[in-house]
């Protein structure tokens, strides 16, 4: 760990960030420093993507393995032309439809992108976020900002500035606090260097949405498959990520039966003197015993669960629970991304309660 530095925390209006603060953030970035900023998915830890030394600082601040490549954030298509060597027609269609937004695309990289940013790869991940503060910071910082999620490597991604401060205070120059993010899970990653294009990480832009636009889209078969011997294609997806300190078990099945099973498990563990946490939904909240129950949202709209999941995992860390049980969610729409993150956090510990049990 390097020497501690002073981290300046600036509160900004998410829609109309103070130009003076943005200018200061831009200066820090242009001088090779680190600024954490909000995007609509999660908070990112920004550095000048074309400055290898600056990008390297990200790895040190996060404790991130150096073979795990960074996403370059831009605000316009001209910037894309400069950092990649060719833009497939389908990528232009996807960009037209979903940029700016919660989507990252992988391209062959151009020479000006340092290997320090791509983890040694000849491809580069690019995202054009929609958050006004993110866009202002990217422009102020020179237009090409490398930004992984602004958490310590292995912890859940930050959905509020407080999470960033928890992990990175003393290690970065500035945190821009624009309140809680909108989506809560990281961007969809779509690899445009293969045919058909392949989803390497599910997010708010779903496979169905992409297929409606460009036809067949593949999904990295190692995702959601605990038994896979193959490494996932996005290098970062192989690390035990998003992980709470307690053991986490995901319980699948009819919601009432799931709640019943988790409840008896929780009562038993409490009798053994263990502290138990439960991730519930508005629909099932009332069926649980008096333990640490957190409501992730409603089954009627799983984007509510996406929005609260990482914050809840951090709260359970702070509560010091020994075991967490979570209900499973429908892997439809953004539920696909929620289940992907939840199963990774659980190290793929899943219990299935049959219909007739």
Residues near ligand TXA (CB under 6 A) are: 39, 41-42, 44, 68-71, 104, 106, 118, 121, 123-125, 127, 147-149, 186-187, 189, 200, 234-237
The residue assigned the tokens 């950092």 is 83
Residue 59 CB, nearest approach to Mg ion (Å): 12
Residue 195 CB, nearest approach to ligand TXA (Å): 16
Taking a C-beta distance cutoff of 8 angstroms, is the pair 98, 190 a contact?
Answer: no
Taking a C-beta distance cutoff of 8 angstroms, is the pair 25, 137 a contact?
Answer: yes
Which CB sits closer to ligand TXA, 103 or 312?
A: 103
Residue 42 CB, nearest approach to ligand TXA (Å): 5
Helix, coil or strand: residue 249? strand
Which CB sits closer to Mg ion, 17 or 158?
A: 158
* Alpha-carbon gap, residue 176 to 180, rounded angstroms: 12
Question: In this structure, how many other beta carbons lie within 10 angstroms of the beta carbon of residue 6?
Answer: 9
Which CB sits closer to Mg ion, 158 or 253?
A: 158
| φ, ψ dihedrals at 327, nearest 5° | -65, 150
Q: What are the distances in angstroms from CA 279 to CA 61, 335, 357?
A: 30, 15, 22
118 interacts with, out of ligand TXA, Mg ion, none, CB within 5 to 8 A per kind: ligand TXA
* Alpha-carbon gap, residue 102 to 347, rounded angstroms: 25
Instruction: Extract the runs of DSSP E, i.e. beta strands, from 149-275.
Output: 174-177, 188-191, 198-201, 218-219, 247-252
Residue 15 CB, nearest approach to Mg ion (Å): 26
200 interacts with, out of ligand TXA, Mg ion, none, CB within 5 to 8 A per kind: ligand TXA
Residue 179 CB, nearest approach to ligand TXA (Å): 16
121 interacts with, out of ligand TXA, Mg ion, none, CB within 5 to 8 A per kind: ligand TXA
Q: What residue number has its CB nearest to ligand TXA? A: 236
Contacts of 78 (CB under 8 A, 6+ apart): none
Which CB sits closer to ligand TXA, 37 or 325?
A: 37
237 interacts with, out of ligand TXA, Mg ion, none, CB within 5 to 8 A per kind: ligand TXA
* Alpha-carbon gap, residue 183 to 203, rounded angstroms: 9
Which CB sits closer to ligand TXA, 72 or 280?
A: 72
337 interacts with, out of ligand TXA, Mg ion, none, CB within 5 to 8 A per kind: none
**Cross-strand bridge partners of residue 260:** none
Which CB sits closer to ligand TXA, 45 or 266?
A: 45
Which CB sits closer to Mg ion, 149 or 303?
A: 149
**Do you know the residue count of the chain?**
357
Tokens in use for 270? 């409490």
Which CB sits closer to ligand TXA, 242 or 316?
A: 242
First to last CA, the chain: 51
* Alpha-carbon gap, residue 96 to 100, rounded angstroms: 9
Which CB sits closer to ligand TXA, 71 or 296?
A: 71
Q: Is 303 in the site for Mg ion (CB under 5 A)?
A: no
Residue 344 CB, nearest approach to Mg ion (Å): 11
Pairing of strands 198-201, 188-191: antiparallel
Residue 141 CB, nearest approach to ligand TXA (Å): 14
Count residues binding Mg ion (CB under 5 A).
1
16: left (phi over 0), alpha (psi -120 to 50) or beta: beta
* Alpha-carbon gap, residue 94 to 101, rounded angstroms: 11
124 interacts with, out of Mg ion, ligand TXA, none, CB within 5 to 8 A per kind: ligand TXA
Residue 46 CB, nearest approach to ligand TXA (Å): 8
The footprint of Mg ion on residues 113-152 (CB under 5 A) is 149
* Alpha-carbon gap, residue 177 to 185, rounded angstroms: 18
Residue 39 CB, nearest approach to ligand TXA (Å): 5
Residues in touch with Mg ion (CB under 5 A): 149
């Amino acid at each position: 760990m390097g020497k501690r530095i002073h981290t300046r925390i600036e509160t900004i209006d998410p829609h109309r960030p103070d130009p003076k603060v943005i200018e200061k953030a831009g200066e820090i970035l242009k001088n090779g420093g680190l600024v954490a900023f909000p995007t609509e998915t999660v908070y990112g830890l920004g550095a000048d993507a074309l400055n290898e030394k600056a990008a390297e600082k990200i790895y040190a601040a996060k404790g991130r393995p150096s073979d795990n490549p960074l996403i370059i954030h831009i605000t316009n298509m001209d910037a894309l032309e400069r950092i990649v060597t060719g833009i497939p027609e389908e990528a232009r269609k996807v960009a037209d439809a979903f940029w700016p937004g919660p989507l990252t695309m992988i391209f062959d990289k151009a020479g000006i992108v340092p290997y320090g940013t791509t983890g040694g790869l000849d491809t580069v991940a690019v995202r054009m976020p929609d958050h006004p503060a993110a866009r202002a910071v990217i422009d102020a910082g020179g237009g090409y900002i490398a930004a992984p999620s602004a958490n310590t490597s292995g912890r859940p991604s930050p959905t509020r500035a407080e999470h960033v401060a928890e992990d990175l205070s003393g290690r970065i120059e500035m945190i821009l606090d624009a309140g809680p993010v909108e989506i809560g899970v990281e961007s969809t990653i779509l690899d445009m260097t293969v045919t058909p294009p392949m989803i390497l990480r599910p997010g708010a832009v779903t496979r169905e949405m992409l297929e409606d636009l460009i036809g067949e889209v593949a999904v990295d078969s190692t995702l959601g498959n605990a038994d896979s011997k193959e490494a996932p294609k996005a290098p970062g997806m192989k690390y035990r990520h998003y992980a709470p300190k307690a053991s986490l078990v995901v319980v699948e099945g009819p919601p009432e039966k799931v709640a019943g099973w988790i409840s008896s498990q929780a009562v038993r563990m409490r009798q053994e003197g263990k502290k138990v946490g439960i991730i519930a939904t508005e629909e099932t909240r009332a069926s649980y015993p008096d333990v640490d129950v957190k409501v992730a949202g409603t089954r009627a709209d799983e984007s509510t669960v996406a929005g609260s999941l990482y914050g809840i995992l951090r709260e359970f860390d702070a509560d010091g629970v020994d075991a967490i049980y979570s209900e499973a969610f429908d892997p439809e729409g953004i539920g696909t991304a929620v289940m992907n993150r939840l199963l990774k956090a659980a190290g793929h510990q899943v219990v299935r309660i049959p219909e007739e049990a």
